[in-house]
Structure 1
């Protein structure tokens, strides 16, 4: 398991247990599109097994893979922030089993208990920070010319 992307591990037990009361088990066959860019972001998942690719449509090019998520990873954070639209697409790379959470129910739980809400927002922010750093590294690798030394 990677260290920065495990939502359930970073939440205190009491908050994790309360959040899990909202979970339902779902599965996605391999090659299933889970969501599309700019679609309505009304839920999120914690992957129990399998792999999911986050991707981005680049005009004039084929869809670009941005990141691959696996066991324990949070899939989807756009449910937290208006306008509640996906910033990426997602596709199952293999059969996936996950816990699915309704975004509106999770937001209501967070509003009802501000300490739980803060813990969830903080955990998601840590995940976003990790993913932003990883995306930056990938973009630099793709678009910054490599040189063999000073010119």
Structure 2
């Protein structure tokens, strides 16, 4: 198994990186495949080795809207870490994808058994959540912005 030296896994200290990668198995997806849907069971997650995945959210009246596209060495899926373990977004491949796949329960059990590993993993996932939340917020502001104002859409 190749060790990722940057991205999500690279942010972990070496001993925690090795522990996490020891729980992975390699997988791949062809282009155009739906990996998971918003509100589905978040029972696994992936670290993308190569390829691109679009993250989307369902907006009533508009359908699925892409809020971010992720790629090499990025974490795909964080909802597995927090109850109720349901996907907050959907994901579809934009190109062929190779990834490390993880069983969520197995990783949560390892997190709970080793507080140092758990803290490092939770910190890295929290950073991803913060970036994704900002990206989703900016994308939704673009979609719903009222033209002609510079004050967030309100008028005097």
Same fold (TM over 0.5): yes
Output the CA distance in 2 between the equivalents of 1:89 and 1:144.
Answer: 23
Indicate the structure whose relative CO is greater, using CA pairs within 8 Å and at least 6 residues apart.
Answer: 1
Deviations 1:48-70 (A, max 9, x none): 00000111122222311111010
Query: Residues 115, 149 of structure 1: CA spacing in aligned structure 2 closer, same or farther, 3 A cutoff?
Result: closer
Query: 2:114 — aligned with what?
Result: 113
Q: Show structure 1 runs of 4+ deviating over 6 A.
A: 148-151
In the TM superposition, 1:1-151 aligns within 5 A as 6-147=7-148
The offset of 1:130, in angstroms, is 1.3
Output the CA distance in 1 between the equivalents of 2:21 and 2:150.
Answer: 52
Count of residue pairs the alignment pairs up: 147
TM-score (norm 1): 0.91
**Partner SS state of residue 63, structure 2:** coil
Query: Residues 149, 30 of structure 1: CA spacing in aligned structure 2 closer, same or farther, 3 A cutoff?
Result: closer
TM-score (norm 2): 0.88
RMSD, aligned α-carbons: 1.7
Query: 2:3 — aligned with what?
Result: none
Output the CA distance in 2 between the equivalents of 1:13 and 1:99.
Answer: 17
Unaligned runs of 5+ in 1: none
